[in-house]
C-alpha cells in the first residue's frame, strides 16, 4: 500500500508540473512574447544547475551554448557535469553536447545551423527552448538570428587567393566585415573559406540575408569577483584531483595532435603542454588558474557589451540558493508576459 501511495503522489506531482509548464509555454508562444529563455553567466557560476531547475519548472529543454562541450570525451576539462541534468529521477533533455570528435574545429556557422535544428525540434514538441552557456559569441549570434545560408565552394576565388599570405587574407577579410574572433584567420585555409562565405553573401538578394532575431528573456548569473575567483580555484583543484590530466593523456594517446588540443585553450592548452614537459605541475596550475580568471573576466565584458548593444539582461545573485533564483526568474518572466498581454 505504501509503495502504491508513493507512486500516486509522484504521478500527481508530475501531472501538475506538466500542466503548469505546458500552460506557460503555450501562453508565451501564442502571445508571441518569448521564443526562447536564455541563461548566461561566467564560468563556475552554476549555470547548468540553475538551468535544470528552470527547465523542470517551465517545461523546457536545454540547448548548450558552450564552444567546447560539443566535443566527446572532453568531459572534465569542459565541465560537462552531465549528472546535473538528472533531477527527481528524470533526465532533463539537453542538446549540442557531445556532437563532435576531439580535434575537429567546429565553427560559428555550424553552431547556428545545429542550434536552429534543435530549436525547431523543441518548439515542434510544444516545449520551451532554454539556451544556457557562457560563450557570448554563440549566444549573441543565435539571439540576433543572423542570416547564414549554406555556402558552396567557389573554385575560381580559391585559385585567386591560393598564393596570398595569412596577413593579406586577414586584411581582405576585414574589408568584408568586423572580425569578432580569431578562428576565421588562424590558418590560410580557414581565412579563404571565410572570404568565400562573405563573397557569396554579397551576391544574395536582401530578403535571403534578412536576420531573424529571437524574442528572449535573458537571465544572467552575477557573482562577486572574489567569490568567483574562489570558486574557480576550488573547481580547478577538484577537476585535477578527478583525473583531468589523465583525460588529456587519453586524448593524446588516441592520436589527437597536441596542437589541436592546445587550440581549444585553457585546460586543454596548459595540461597538454604540462604532459609534453613544458611546465612543472605547479607552473601549469598557476598559469591555468590565472588564464581561467582572465577568461571569466572576458565573459563578463562580453555580456556587458551585449547590454550596450541592446540586450536586456535580468541579473540574479549567484550566491543565493538556486531554488530561490529559479522562482525569482520564473516570476519575473510571468510579470513580463502579463504586461505584454495587457
Residue 50 belongs to domain spanning: 16-146+212-228+299-341
pTM value is 0.83
> Tens-of-pLDDT digits for all 342 residues of the chain?
333 334 343 333 333 344 445 555 555 554 567 999 999 999 999 999 999 999 999 999 999 999 999 999 999 999 998 999 999 999 999 999 999 999 999 999 899 999 999 999 999 999 999 999 999 999 999 999 988 778 899 999 999 999 999 999 999 988 987 766 666 678 999 899 989 988 998 888 877 778 899 999 999 999 999 999 999 999 999 999 999 999 999 999 999 999 999 999 999 999 999 999 999 999 999 999 999 999 999 999 999 999 999 999 999 999 999 999 999 999 999 888 877 766
- In whole angstroms, give the CA distance from residue 186 to residue 170: 9
Are 218 and 201 found together in one domain?
Answer: no
Residues 71 and 218 placed together within one structural domain of the fold: yes
Residues 178 and 65 in one domain: no
Long-range residue pairs from 252-258, CB within 8 A, at least 24 positions apart, any chain: 254/102, 256/102, 256/103, 257/103
Contact between 170 and 185 (Cβ < 8 Å): yes
Find the distance separating the first CA and the last CA of the chain, reported in whole Å.
Answer: 49
User: Is 305 within the bounds of a domain?
Assistant: yes
Q: How far is the C-alpha of 116 from the C-alpha of 143, rounded, in Å?
A: 11
Domain tally for the chain? 2
Amino acid at each position: 500500500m505504501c509503495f502504491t501511495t508513493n507512486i500516486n503522489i509522484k504521478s500527481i506531482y508530475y501531472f501538475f508540473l506538466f500542466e503548469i509548464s505546458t500552460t506557460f509555454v503555450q501562453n508565451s508562444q501564442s502571445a508571441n512574447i518569448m521564443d526562447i529563455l536564455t541563461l548566461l553567466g561566467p564560468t563556475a557560476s552554476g549555470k547548468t544547475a540553475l538551468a535544470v531547475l528552470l527547465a523542470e519548472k517551465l517545461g523546457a529543454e536545454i540547448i548548450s551554448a558552450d564552444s567546447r562541450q560539443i566535443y566527446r570525451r572532453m568531459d572534465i576539462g569542459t565541465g560537462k557535469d552531465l549528472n546535473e541534468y538528472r533531477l527527481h529521477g528524470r533526465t532533463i533533455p539537453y542538446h549540442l553536447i557531445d556532437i563532435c570528435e576531439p580535434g575537429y574545429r567546429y565553427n560559428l556557422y555550424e553552431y547556428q545551423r545545429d542550434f536552429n535544428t534543435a530549436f525547431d525540434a523543441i518548439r515542434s514538441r510544444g516545449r520551451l527552448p532554454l539556451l544556457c552557456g557562457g560563450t557570448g559569441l554563440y549566444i549573441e549570434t543565435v539571439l540576433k538570428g543572423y542570416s547564414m545560408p549554406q555556402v558552396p565552394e567557389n573554385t575560381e576565388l580559391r585559385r585567386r587567393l591560393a598564393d596570398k599570405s595569412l596577413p593579406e587574407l586577414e586584411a581582405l577579410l576585414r574589408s568584408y566585415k568586423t572580425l569578432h574572433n580569431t578562428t576565421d584567420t588562424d590558418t590560410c585555409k580557414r581565412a579563404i573559406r571565410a572570404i568565400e562565405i562573405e563573397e557569396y553573401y554579397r551576391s544574395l538578394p536582401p530578403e535571403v540575408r534578412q536576420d531573424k532575431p529571437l524574442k528572449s528573456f535573458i537571465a544572467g548569473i552575477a557573482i562577486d569577483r572574489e567569490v568567483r575567483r574562489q570558486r574557480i580555484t576550488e573547481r580547478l583543484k577538484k577537476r585535477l584531483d578527478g583525473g583531468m590530466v589523465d583525460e588529456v593523456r587519453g586524448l593524446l594517446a588516441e592520436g589527437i595532435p597536441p596542437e589541436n588540443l592546445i587550440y581549444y585553450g585553457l585546460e586543454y592548452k596548459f595540461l597538454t603542454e604540462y604532459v609534453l614537459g613544458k611546465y612543472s605541475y605547479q607552473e601549469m596550475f598557476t598559469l591555468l588558474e590565472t588564464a581561467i580568471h582572465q577568461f571569466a573576466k572576458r565573459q563578463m565584458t562580453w555580456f556587458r557589451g551585449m547590454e550596450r548593444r541592446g540586450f536586456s539582461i535580468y541579473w540574479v545573485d549567484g550566491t543565493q540558493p538556486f531554488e530561490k533564483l529559479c522562482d525569482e526568474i520564473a516570476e519575473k518572466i510571468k510579470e513580463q508576459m502579463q504586461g505584454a498581454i495587457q
